[in-house]
Amino acid sequence: MELKRTATNPTVSAPAAAKRTPYLLKHWQIYTMVLPGLIYFVLFKYIPLTGIVIAFQDYNVFNGIFGSKLVGLKHFYNLFTYPEFLRVLKNTLLISIYQIVLGFPAPIALAMLMNEVRKLLFKRTVQTVLYLPHFLSWVIVGGLVINFLSPSSGMANDFLRWLGKEPVFFMQEPSYFRSIVVISGIWKEVGWGTIIYLAALAGINPELYEAAEVDGAGKLKQAFSITLPSLLPTIMVLLLLRVGNVLDLGFEQIYMLLNPLVTDTGEIIDTYIYRIGLLGGQYSYTTAIGLFKSVVGVILVVGANQLSKKTTGESIY
């Protein structure tokens, strides 16, 4: 009888009914907001993954995926037997390493310098000037670089002439190409990269700097004892993500600056895929290259994450 009265008591049954309400239905508004993002990833990230199968086929556009012949690991074997691909892989690794060694610390140093500026108007003006190149496409930036280094009318060669030296054909010299790529990339993105670090610097307790000044620490000592340790979690997360993209330099920059005279030292995997895959019609071979890039990226991210977790205690998961 007690159980029966409890079941019919509205003050008792209401909470019980609320507990029985599924969590998804209870918070349907939140999941509705997430739904467009989930649909995007399913349509444009996960469903296209089914196309990876053509890396194991001699794919023919007329026969389609289901009608093309399976060839197993043939195209992956070709990756490491074609001297052309090995050359392209070497170029990609070298340029990526240069960008990490020289380009990754640049926004950190710039953010630390900007953080020391006390004139607000000057600081905002400099930030705006440094941010602007990020919003320019590589078509514009590539044109600016080519014009700047032009042997006939470029400012760089005008300066060399002023010094009494002969003009240099920078864009036609293979030895200069990688340096041009790295420097132009830093110039375009260094300002935008400082935003994250400036936000992290804003979260540092000012009392730490005041205590350091009382102890007699100068600006350099404060930078290494307070600023850099406080930025370490942000630095490690961004570095781990950058390491995962070591084979993904981006197509636009290299394509805009590349020319036949510097192909041996300047062609990377992305431009190679475009030339061989889209223009040459070797879809299976270039899909195998793309899958190889993805696997290497995952291995690097997981390995670097574990190494960072053991050495610094910071990780992305």
Name the band, by pLDDT with cuts 50, 70 and 90, for residue 6: very low
Of the candidates 94, 286, 80, the residue with the CA atom closest to the CA atom of residue 174: 94
Distance CA 63, CA 259 (A): 35
Which whole-number Å values give the CA distances from 102 to 30, 40, 94, in the listed order?
42, 35, 12
The residue among 315 and 139 whose pLDDT is bigger is 139
Percent composition of the chain: helix, strand, coil (DSSP 3-state, to 5) = 80, 0, 20
Give the C-alpha separation, 32 to 84, whole Å: 49
Tell me the per-residue pLDDT of 144-162, one tens digit each, with 9 for 90 and over: 999 999 988 889 999 999 9
pLDDT confidence of residue 39: 93
Per residue in 118-136, pLDDT tens?
888 888 898 889 999 999 9
Average pLDDT of the residues of the chain: 86
User: In this structure, what is the dihedral angle of CA atoms 116, 117, 123, 128, given to the nearest 10 degrees?
Assistant: -30
- Per-residue pLDDT at 96: 93
- pLDDT the model gives residue 277: 87
Kindly report, residue by residue over 14-68, the tens digit of the pLDDT: 455 445 677 778 888 888 888 999 999 999 989 988 889 999 999 988 888 888 8
What is the pTM for the complete model shown?
0.83
pLDDT > 70 fraction of the chain, expressed in percent and rounded: 93
**Neighbour-count burial for 252-286, b at 16+ CB within 10 Å, e otherwise:** ebbbbbbeeebbebbbbbbbbbebbbeeeebbbbb
Entry field: residues in the chain? 317
Per-residue pLDDT at 91:
93
Q: Taking residues 94-100, what's their average pLDDT?
A: 93
Helical pair 105-115 and 120-131, crossing angle rounded to 10 deg: 160
- Percent of the chain predicted with pLDDT > 90: 33
The pLDDT assigned to 213 comes to 87
Can you list the positions of beta strands (E) in 47-185? 57-58, 69-70
- Per-residue pLDDT band for 210 (boundaries 50, 70, 90) equals confident
Q: Output the pLDDT for position 5.
A: 46
Quote the pLDDT of residue 25.
80
Answer whether 190's CB lies under 8 Å from 106's CB.
Answer: yes
pLDDT confidence bin for 256, thresholds 50/70/90: very high
Alpha-carbon distance of 81 to 85, in angstroms, equals 8
